[in-house]
Structure 1
Amino acid sequence: MGWDDAPAHVCRGGDVRGLAFCCPPVKPCPVHAKLAEVGISPQEFVNIKEEFGKKTELGKGTGTCFGSLIWCCKASKPCPLRDSVLQSIGMTHDTYMTLKKELAEEIVKHSNVNTINYSDDDIATLASTFDISFEEAKKALNESGNDLKTAIKNLRIKSL
């Protein structure tokens, strides 16, 4: 199954869901700006990921950079440490990415992303930009978890 529409890493401009692939916030990098943007403190971020790791196999991985698969990057990015752990626990890349998607959903749940209320004018502007109906624009926002950047990306892909 995996995660077909997985976002880019946050350090490559990914949306809030990309936080599932971030290292701990221990050095200056884009994770700090993304956490501030979505209303999650660095400590809350660590807690969310560690709690998720306790409930899933993403908590395994003492041989990885930060001691757990919860801090590892996307399966599409080559990493011998992550892949060695996945092989040793018998986890496929698809299962890994499915768990990362669930982790991303958990992070989004704790963020302010879903609390943003777009006005009818905002939705009308989105509709006008993509030459779609107001209802289609509203649906695109709903399908993207109310994340405007993701909605725009998805609408661009549909228009190709």
Structure 2
Amino acid sequence: MSEHRLQSVELDAATLPSATAEIEHERRVAIFDLVEKNSFRPLEDAEDQGPYDLKLSLQDNRLVFDIVAAKGFARTYALSLTPLKTVLKDYVLICDSYYEALRGSSATQIEAVDMGRRGLHNEGAEALKARLDGKVELDHETARRLFTLVCALYRRG
């Protein structure tokens, strides 16, 4: 198995918005999915000391990545959430519409909302990947899983 991966993800609960049981569940599922399969390589780790442990927190409108490897590598990156806010808000809204559509819309309506949801998810993943450019190398699927987790962090209860 590649050492260019996350072996654990922890959330700093003290810095996160309050959450309902449903949002807490979304966060746990997003972490599980991310850790289960990912490609994550801090570019400053010239010695490739992974796998990595990631602690995420929200501080002063920034998404903070604390990355540590057992072999000694440690870095902290703080990314402004401002460039991601529009896609985060739009994605949360379309997810709410999707769940509402599942409760009583036609298959055609559900499919249309789902296509929009997937498109925004890809857009958010690419925006997050761009924010991490020069810091962390991720593949598209890892960026999607990480964006899912960021959305779960962003949602308020």
**TM-score, structure 1 as length reference:** 0.32
Q: Relative contact order, CA 8 A, sep 6+: which one is greater?
A: 2
- The structure whose Rg is larger is 1
Structure (1 or 2) with the greater strand fraction: 2
**TM-score, structure 2 as length reference:** 0.32
Structure (1 or 2) with the greater helix fraction: 1
